């Protein structure tokens, strides 16, 4: 069974067309490595809280540390996986194509939006994430790393033949997060289990965008506004979750 899951996971990172890869490259180049604004990060954090592990009465409470901790965690992930600010988008693409690892990422902003697209699919399928402490952070992390690997595989496919297997060296990232955020320590084995489960929940389908990657940013702003409005009104999604898993536990 483990071998079957690993095989499906490996295939998931290769399941895309040349057109999909080209469109994904286009939106990365159009972004020009521009980081997400603090306002956007705050709105994303509120969306994650709304979908995540907090009780209804906590959502409108702006006096607690839920929101700043979620924002800080997301920003820490993006900062720890970014290249030097002096790197151009073409240099970042070239470096990614030459690297065996998907970290650091080409564009943390694009990777984050792709991760949110996966999380939205997860929520649509299962309801809210769960109500366990800090689970939203773990889900965001695994979605971000899955997005990083899929983007890396897509971009590499445009310049390399054959395409090497998707790899992820997240040791430095995990060390950084354990030292600088509330995330409990995660080792490589746990991270691999989280990745496998998340891919299973997504039915091993990683194509980005409602129809194609060009729709990603318009989709993002529409969904983000919806989540933000729910957060502001305290309109909680419900209590159904997928149960205890390595990803959500």
* Per-domain residue ranges of the chain: 2-233
pLDDT of residue 2: 52
User: According to the model, what pLDDT value does residue 133 have?
Assistant: 47
Reading the block at residue 213, the tokens are 């990657």
Distance CA 213, CA 177 (A): 29
pLDDT of residue 240: 41
Alpha-carbon gap, residue 74 to 70, rounded angstroms:
6
CB 181 within 8 A of CB 149: no
- Tokens encoding 59: 């959502």
- Report pTM: 0.88
Contact call for residues 224 and 175 (beta carbons, < 8 A): no
157 Cβ contact list (under 8 Å, min separation 6): 16, 18, 21, 163
Is 35 strand, coil or helix? coil
d(CA 106, CA 81): 9
Measure the CA dihedral 131/199/114/82, to 10°: 90
Write down the H helix ranges in the chain: 2-12, 18-31, 38-51, 66-80, 89-98, 108-126, 135-157, 171-180, 188-201, 216-233
The tokens describing 205, both together, are 């389908």
For position 182, what pLDDT does the model report?
66
What's the rounded Cα separation, in Å, for the pair 177 and 186? 9
In the prediction, which pLDDT does 188 show? 81
Terminal-residue alpha carbon distance, the chain: 22
For residues 119 and 208, the answer to whether their CB atoms sit within 8 Å is no
CA pair distance 90, 28, nearest whole angstrom: 10
Tally of CA atoms within 13 A in the half-sphere of 212 that contains its CB: 12
Q: Under 8 Å CB-to-CB from 164, ≥6 apart: which residues? A: 100, 156
d(CA 96, CA 83): 10
| Separation between Cα atoms, residue 89 and residue 109, nearest integer Å | 12
* Mean pLDDT (10-residue bins), the chain, 249 residues: 74 92 96 96 90 55 73 93 94 92 95 96 82 74 96 90 65 73 77 92 94 94 89 60 50
């Amino acid at each position: 069974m483990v071998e079957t899951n690993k095989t499906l996971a490996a295939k998931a990172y290769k399941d895309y067309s040349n057109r999909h890869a080209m469109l994904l490259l286009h939106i990365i180049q159009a972004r020009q490595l521009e980081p997400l604004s603090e306002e956007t990060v705050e709105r994303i954090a509120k969306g994650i809280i709304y979908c995540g592990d907090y009780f209804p009465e906590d959502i409108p409470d702006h006096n607690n540390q839920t929101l700043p901790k979620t924002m800080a965690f997301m920003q820490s992930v993006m900062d720890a996986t970014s290249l030097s600010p002096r790197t151009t988008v073409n240099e970042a693409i070239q470096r990614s194509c030459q690297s065996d690892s998907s970290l650091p990422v080409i564009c943390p902003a694009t990777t984050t939006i792709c991760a949110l697209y996966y999380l939205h699919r997860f929520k649509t399928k299962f309801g809210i994430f769960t109500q366990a402490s800090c689970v939203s952070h773990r889900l965001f992390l695994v979605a971000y790393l899955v997005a990083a690997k899929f983007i890396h595989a897509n971009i590499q496919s445009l310049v390399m033949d054959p395409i090497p297997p998707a790899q992820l060296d997240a040791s430095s990232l995990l060390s950084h997060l354990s030292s600088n955020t509330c995330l409990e320590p995660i080792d490589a084995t746990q991270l691999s289990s989280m990745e496998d489960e998340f891919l299973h929940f997504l039915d091993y389908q990683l194509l980005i965008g409602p129809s194609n990657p060009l729709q990603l940013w318009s989709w993002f702003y529409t969904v983000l506004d919806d989540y933000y409005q729910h957060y502001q009104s305290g309109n909680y999604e419900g209590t159904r979750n997928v149960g205890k898993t390595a990803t959500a536990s």
